[in-house]
Amino acid sequence: MSDFSGLEELGILDNRYLIEQSVSFDKDDFSCWISPEFKISPLRGSTHISFLLTHLDWFGFTEDHVNELEDKYSKMEEDSPVVKNKVSDHLFLEAFSKGWIRVRHQVKCNNFSVEFQNVKVAEHNICLWAEMMMQVGYGSCTALIKCWGSNQLFEFPIKYIDTYSVQVFNS
């Protein structure tokens, strides 16, 4: 397990954010959701969609909303896996538009993908996430950053995210 002790010195664990001081990740897998308020929710072996569906209220969704999406897409598609993928994509885009950030950690190659849509919220939170990753020794890992609003991809080491944030968030 990895933890983020010592982040108070970085100004990350204080009253400005709702981050839990006991945030820990299993097996050094740093996959998580980051809320608009910068609360980090590690997946702990779950998938992003399973976590979202388990915690619908955190994301501002209801079971009725998910059922409506399933009905909508099942009328358009007969294939059940295709319907599930479309519902997942729809929910992800809605979560991104609300300021949520999805972080995937490809453990085997030790790279990260960071996906978001709401640039106003994401810029600050992604820079804070990068500071945290550097604190625990992941600064030289590559981050693939995708903004769903612009469909642009950026790739560089985590330690340079703050440096390149102007390029990423103003394009």
Domain ranges of the chain: 2-51+98-169
Give pLDDT, residue 28: 65
Residue 70 near residue 62, CB atoms below 8 Å: no
Separation CA 75–CA 165 (nearest Å): 41
The confidence band for 20, taking pLDDT boundaries of 50, 70 and 90, is very low
The alpha carbon of 141 is separated from its chain's Cα centroid by a whole number of angstroms, namely: 17
Tell me 141's DSSP state. Answer: S
Residue 91 near residue 102, CB atoms below 8 Å: no
Residue 66 near residue 33, CB atoms below 8 Å: no
Mean pLDDT of 92-102: 95
Q: Residue 162 corresponds to which amino acid? A: D
Give bridge partners of residue 129 from the DSSP assignment: none
Give per-residue pLDDT as tens, 116-153.
Answer: 998 878 888 998 889 888 888 888 899 998 988 777 78
Say which residues have a Cβ less than 8 Å from residue 143's Cβ, sequence separation at least 6. Answer: 111, 112, 113, 114, 130, 155, 156, 157, 158, 161
Model pTM?
0.81
